Amino acid sequence: MIRALVADDSAVAREVVKDGIKLLGSKRYFDVTIAENGQQALNILQSKPVDIAFVDVNMPGASGPEVVAAMQQTQSKGCTSVVMSSSLNARVESVLKEFGAYHFLQKPFRAENVAEIISSYITMNECYPVLIVDDSATMRKLTRKILETSRFDFEISEADSAETALLAIKTGKFRMVITDFNMPGADGLELAGSIRELSSKIAIYMMSTNDTTYLERSAAFIGIDGFLKKPFNAGDIDALMHKLLGLDDPRFGKVRDVFSFLERERLKTGS
């Protein structure tokens, strides 16, 4: 069950959001709660957990940004928040981003726009088995913590070498591998090549402190899906997953290139 909140003082906007939720009714059961002002929305968030909230920016009682900011102190701390308005100024956008808002629906919008965001939410909450490969136990622990704070749901396993990783990958369990480049024995590039011999469907991302065009080009040639330049955070993971799964980039999320050399070449050519 997905617990949804629709908070807007406009009855028309509330109905459009509810219609969008109904479009996904065959995929999930939704428990929808309505709030007609900001204070009602806050009371609901404090009284019960909410999974996804559609919140109008301009409401009596409490504004949308105030509701999103207060959300972290309620039972709905992990709620995915989508704000709605005809426009956003830079100050409001900055506040919403600071407090973890996910996406923006520009009014007037259609039920299909709501359904697309909910579909992305459902995809984010599917379980993705991922293997972290690094000879450093500290780095594996740090990467695990970053994955656990992502918007996506991961089933996390670890390997301390390319050899151990390949044994695990041969089980066919994993959707994604995050591997360090610098490892004793076989390095990240060699591991990626071996994975590609086994499967073209496993997403491979390489962690490295290096930022060289040569390394990135070699990795791209082998067929890895992108780079994670250390240090990285949950926002970088979210951005990679949105690209991997073909999801619309959220308004308040990070947007990053999976290979920075491609971006550098675009800047050079002006294309």
Confidence (pLDDT) at 265:
47
pLDDT in tens, 13-32: 999 999 999 999 888 899 99
pLDDT in tens, 190-205: 999 999 999 999 999 9
pLDDT average, residue stretch 166-174: 93
Confidence (pLDDT) at 246:
92
In our burial notation (b when 16+ CB lie closer than 10 A, e otherwise), range 138-175 reads eebebbbebbeebbbebebbbbbbbeebbeebeeeebb
Confidence (pLDDT) at 105:
97
- Strands 176-180, 203-208: parallel, antiparallel or unpaired by DSSP? parallel
Environment class of residue 120 by beta-carbon count within 10 Å: exposed (0-12), middle (13-18) or buried (19+)?
A: buried
Q: Evaluate whether the domain defined by 127-269 bears CATH number 3.40.30.10.
A: no
pLDDT average, residue stretch 233-244: 92
Average predicted confidence (pLDDT) for the chain: 90
Cis peptide before 231 (omega within 30 of 0): yes
Confidence (pLDDT) at 260:
54
pLDDT average, residue stretch 104-126: 96
pLDDT in tens, 72-99: 888 888 899 999 999 999 999 999 999 9
pLDDT level of residue 266 (50, 70, 90 thresholds): very low
- For the cut 70, the answer to whether the pLDDT of residue 211 exceeds it is no
What is the percent of the chain with per-residue pLDDT over 70, rounded to a whole number?
92
pLDDT level of residue 230 (50, 70, 90 thresholds): confident
- For the cut 80, the answer to whether the pLDDT of residue 255 exceeds it is no
pLDDT average, residue stretch 165-185: 92
Residues of the chain with CATH 3.40.50.2300: 2-123, 127-269
- C-alpha 39: how far from chain center: 29
CATH class of 2-123: alpha beta
pLDDT in tens, 46-59: 999 999 999 999 99
pLDDT average, residue stretch 178-201: 91
pLDDT level of residue 215 (50, 70, 90 thresholds): confident
Q: Find, among 112, 119, 123, the residue nearest to 20 by Cα.
A: 112
Statement: the pTM of the whole predicted model exceeds 0.85: yes
Q: Which is higher by pLDDT, 209 or 252?
A: 252
